[in-house]
Structure 1
C-alpha cells in the first residue's frame, strides 16, 4: 500500500531553465550480445558485498485500548490466548510504504536488473556520485553557477560529507555537472535554439573539478539540433577518463518543432542507444574506463521505448529523476518514471530553491536512501 497517490498530473511541476538574456547571443532490458556474461548486481549495493536488507518505513500501529485488570478478565484473556496458540498465528500487519520506497514494487518491476559485469575502473555500483549542476555563466541554472567558485566547491564538499555519513558503505565521488549545450528561446544564427559553450568555459569547470578530485559531466540540451550532430563536437573533452555525459530529453524538441520552454521534449531509446554506442567507441579508442551516462527524466513521454535501451559494459546508464516539487510528488515521479521502467542505475535530483519554495524541507540523504532502488547518482541544482 502506498500512502501517497502515484499519479497526479494536474499537480506536476516542471522546472524550465534558461540562461539570462545576456547569454542569448553568446524494464525489462534487452541486453545486447555483449551482455551474455551478465550478472545480477543490485544497483544500490557494491558488487563485491552481500546485499543488505532493504530499508523500509513502517506505519506505527494504533495502540490497543486499555483493558480491565480484574482477575476474572485476566483469566478469560489467558484462556483465549492458550486456545489461540493451538490455532493459526495471527497475521503480521502489512508494512506500508510511500511511493518509490516499496521494495516489493521495485522487485515486481524487475529490480535489481541484470547488466554486464562492471569493467575495471567503473564508478558504479561501488560508489555514489554527488554532483553540483549548472553553468558558471548563470546564477539561475543551478548550484554550479549560483555561487562563487570557491564557495561552490566548499558547499559541494559539505554535501558529499552528508552522503558519506548517511551511507558509509558507498564511497562518494564528487562531480561537477556542466550544461555545455544550453537550450535557447531564440533560434540564434544557426536556427537551432541551442548555444554551445566556449571551450574555455568547459576547460575552466574541468580544472575546478580536478582541483577537488571530482569528475565532470558534459550535459547537452539540443534544442532543435540532433544529438548525432552535437555529441561528436565534445570528443576532445570526453576522451578524458574523468569526463562523462548527460543528455536532457526535456530540451530535445526536434519532433515537436516547439521552442524550448514552451513544451517538454523527448528522446527515444534509439537516440539513447546512439549516444551510448558513441561513448562505447570512445572507451575503446582511448583505452579508458567506462563512461557514466546520465539521462534526465521526469515525465512518461520524456523517454520512449525504454525497454529497448541497450546495456554495454563500456557505459553505465543512469536514469535520473529530475522533476521538482513537494516530496510526495518527487517520490511519485521516481516510482512512475524511473522504478517502473528499469534500465540500469537510478539518480535523483534535489533543487535547493524549487523543492522548498512552497515551504517543504529539502529531502535529506537519509530520506532519499529510503527509495527503492537506492539512487547512486545525486544531483543538486
Structure 2
C-alpha cells in the first residue's frame, strides 16, 4: 500500500470509494518502538470499496463421506484384491507441495493485494501468472534449509470509509475473483490466503462466509485486526483490534473444518502493527490442525522495523509461529528496504515473509 500524495499510485480517483477516503491519524512511533501507519496508507486502504465488489456466497461444503477420521493412520493404497468388496482407499488431502503439516517443513513467502488496486499491494498488479512466478523466486530466496511454499494473500474482505447499506463498513471481493486466484494458486502449487479486514462486521462471520474456499486443502485465513472496528468506530479514524479469545474462536472454527474434511494443517495468520491491535494475546489457545502465525506489521527503516519486531515477538503465546511484513513502496522512504539476509537474521526467524 502506498500513500495518496500527488503523483503516487492510488485507488481509482474516479470511483466514489476513492473520493470518500477517511483521513487517518498522524503516523507515530509508539511505546516499545512499534510503528503506526502513515495517514495516506490508511486512507487508501479505507477507500477500497472497489467497483464491482460483490457479496461472496457462503456455500457450506460437504464432508467427504470416506474421509479418514481425525488422528487415524494414513490409509493404505492399492487396488482391491479379486473378489474383495473393499474399494481402494482415498488419498488424504495434501498441502500444495506435499505432506499435511506446514511447519517446520515449509518456509512461506508471498505477496498480498487486490486486483485493480496497485496501492493495496503487488499481487493486485500485472499478470497473475507472472506475479506467481515472482513469488516462487521469493520463496526460494527465503527457504534456507526448509522447502519453499509460495503464498498468494488476496484481500477478500476490505474495510471501507462508509458504512454501506448493511452498516458494516466492509465489502467482500466477488467470488469470480477468489476463484481465479484459487486456480492460480493451484496451478503454481501455492497457498491462497484470504485476508479479512472486518470493518464493523464480525471477524468470525467473515471467516464463515468464506467456507466454500476454506474446505480446500490449499486455502487459509489472514486477519487484519487493525481494520476491525468497534461500535462508533470508522476505518481510517483509529486502529481497530481483536483479542486472544476471538483469535481462538476463529482457530477453533478452522480446526472444525480440518477435522470435518480431513484437511492438512491450515494456516491462520494475523497481522499486528501495534500492541493495542491484539489485546490479551495470551488468552489464545492453539487448536488442532491450525498453524497460527503472528505477522509483525509496520512501516519504517530497517532499524525501526527490528525494534517493532523485538517488541511484538517478546513473550509469544504458546504454539504461535512468526511472520514479517515488508512494504516495497513505503519502507524505503527516507531509508531502504530490508534485505532478505536481514530478515532471516531476526530471532525467532520468521516462518512467513510477506511483501505488499
Fold similarity call, TM over 0.5: yes
Residue matched to 2:45: 18
Summarize deviations over 1:141-162 as a string: whole Å, max 9, x none: 0011033323322322231232
CA contact (8 A) 1:139 1:146 kept: yes
TM-score (norm 2): 0.74
SS in 1 for 2:154: strand
Residue of structure 2 equivalent to 1:80: none
1:305 is matched with 280
1:342 aligns with 2:321: no
TM-score of the aligned structures, taking structure 1 as reference length: 0.69
Classify 1:320/1:292 alpha carbon distance in 2 versus 1 (closer, same or farther; 3 Å): same
Q: How many angstroms apart in 2 are the aligned matches of 1:20 and 1:304? A: 26
Indicate whether 1:262 and 2:237 are aligned: yes
Report the counterpart of residue 372 of structure 1 in structure 2. Answer: 347
**Inter-CA distance 244–128: structure 2 relative to 1 (3 Å threshold):** same
Unaligned stretches of 5+ residues in structure 1? 27-119
Work out whether 1:150 is the aligned partner of 2:129.
yes
Aligned-residue offset at 1:361 = 2.3
Could you say which structure has the larger radius of gyration?
A: 1
Aligned-residue offset at 1:24 = 6.0
Cα 1:329–1:13 change in 2 (3 A) is farther
Measured after TM superposition, the shift of residue 21 of structure 1 is: 6.2
Maintained 8 Å contact 1:369/1:375:
yes
- Pick one of 201, 211, 217 that aligns with 2:177: 201
How many residue pairs get matched?
Answer: 278
Using the alignment, how far apart are the partners of 1:290 and 1:153 within structure 2? 22
Q: C-alpha displacement at 1:295, in angstroms?
A: 0.8
Consecutive aligned runs of 4 or more in structure 1 exceeding 6 Å deviation = none
What is aligned with 1:246? 222
Gaps of 5+ in 2: 1-29, 54-98
Q: Which residue number corresponds to residue 222 of structure 1?
A: 198
Q: Is the 8 Å Cα contact of residues 324 and 351 (structure 1) preserved in structure 2?
A: yes
Higher relative contact order (CA 8 A, sep 6+): 1
Evaluate the alpha carbon distance shift between residue 377 and residue 355 of structure 1 in structure 2; reply closer, same or farther with a 3 A threshold.
Answer: same
Work out whether 1:233 is the aligned partner of 2:209.
Answer: yes
Cα RMSD (Å) of the superposition? 2.0
Q: Tell whether the 8 Å contact from 2:158 to 2:172 is kept in structure 1 after alignment.
A: yes
Per the TM alignment, residue 210 of structure 1 is displaced from its structure 2 partner at its CA by: 1.3
Cα distance change of structure 1 residues 153 and 25 upon mapping to structure 2, 3 Å threshold:
closer
